[in-house]
Structures are given as C-alpha cells and as structure tokens.
A and B are shown apart, each in its own frame.
Chain A
Amino acid sequence: GENVEQHPSTLSVQEGDSAVIKCTYSDSASNYFPWYKQELGKRPQLIIDIRSNVGEKKDQRIAVTLNKTAKHFSLHITETQPEDSAVYFCAAGLSDYKLSFGAGTTVTVRA
C-alpha cells in the first residue's frame, strides 16, 4: 500500500517568514495529494490539493508543488501569521479511493 513520510515533525517560524513542509510517497499510482490543517480538537480542514497532472498550485499564501518523478510534494506557506499555527497533514492516494496520511507537522508561528 501507499506509505507517506512527512518532514519535519515540528516547525517553528517567525511571523512573516515562510514555512515549508515536505512529503514523499511510495506508490507511483497515487494521483491525488491533499493537504489538511488541523487545529487542536477540531477536524482536519482541506487547505489545498494537487493532482498528478499539475506540477504546482497556488492559493493566496499557500502553494503546493509536486514532483511525480521523485515522488515528493511540498507545502509552502508564505507570510506566516499566528493563525497558521496548527498541525498540517499531507496525504496521497488515488482519486475516489482511500488516502494515506503523513505523520503531521506541528507548525508554530511566533509573533
């Protein structure tokens, strides 16, 4: 099955700086790569996703890049704000099928 590794496990950044989280996956058949943000005690919220026919996608301060050859994808958050503090999960899988999640990255934005 799919195995997703995520790094780093914790990330502390100064407000206004950028944050980058990287994930690798094992199954070359995976074609859907979402990123979720989870605040303490709450449900994961989809923040951005990318499909295998696209190399990069951007939504305001958030961007995701995908390298299918190397089987890795990354989340970039620019101009970080305190409200960006949360746990971020990457995931990989086939559309309409189950997702495998990374272990999560706890992001802390220092004011």
Chain B
Amino acid sequence: GAVVSQHPSWVICKSGTSVKIECRSLDFQATTMFWYRQFPKQSLMLMATSNEGSKATYEQGVEKDKFLINHASLTLSTLTVTSAHPEDSSFYICSAREKGNGYTFGSGTRLTVV
C-alpha cells in the first residue's frame, strides 16, 4: 500500500527559530499533499494544500508567511514553520493520496517551541 514518510517525528526548538518538516511519498507520486495541525484531543485541522510545481493553497486563518510550503517534486513536500513561537507547538501531520486509494497520513511531527 501507499506509504508516506514524515520527518522529523519530533523536534524541540527555541523561540524565534525556524523548523522544516518533510513529507515524502515513498512508493507513489503525489501531485497534491495536505498539511494538518492537530491539538491534543482535537481533530485534524487542514492548514494548506500543497501542489507540486505551484503555490500552496492555504486555508482561511493560516498565515502563509509563517507556514511556508514547498512542493518541488512529485514525492516531497516541506512545511517550514518560520520564527516559531510557543503557540506554534503542536502535532503537524501530512497526507497524500495515491490514485485509486485512500489518503495516507505521515507519522506526524510533534513540534515543541521553548
């Protein structure tokens, strides 16, 4: 089945620094990937849709300058949290869909900003 790899699985960074999270489709090509944010005991909130070779589409209320998304190839999308602050601490998770199959999630990244 489709496999989506996400790295790192957890990261601790200092306030004001930037963090990059990678999402890779290992055995299929994904023209579209999705980035979600999940707070403890809450649902998955879609942040943006990552489109290969073009700009990402951000959901209302998500700051595009803060959450930079790059989808330079058919198998890799990156999310960079810029100038991170403690309120950005959360579980970030990506997903991708292989044609004919359902959406597969990455393993998620737990970001802690101190």
Q: Show the binding face of A for B, using Cβ within 8 Å.
A: 34, 36, 42-46, 49, 89, 96, 98-104, 106
In the complex with contacts A42-B107, A43-B107, A96-B97, A34-B102 CB distance below 8 A: yes
Q: Show the binding face of B for A, using Cβ within 8 Å.
A: 32, 34, 41-44, 46, 49, 93, 97, 99, 102-108
Complex: chain A residue closest to B60, CB-CB:
A1
In the complex with contacts A34-B102, A96-B32, A98-B34, A44-B97 CB distance below 8 A: no
Residue among A46, A100, A103 with most chain B CB within 10 A? A46
Shortest Cβ distance from residue B40 to the other chain A in the assembled complex, whole angstroms? 10
Shortest Cβ distance from residue B10 to the other chain A in the assembled complex, whole angstroms? 10
In the complex with contacts A96-B32, A96-B97, A98-B49, A43-B42 CB distance below 8 A: no
CA distance A104 to B43 in the complex (A): 6
A43 touches B93 (CB 8 A): yes
A-B contact list, 12 entries, CB within 8 Å: A34-B102, A34-B103, A43-B106, A44-B44, A96-B99, A98-B34, A99-B103, A100-B46, A101-B43, A102-B43, A103-B42, A103-B43
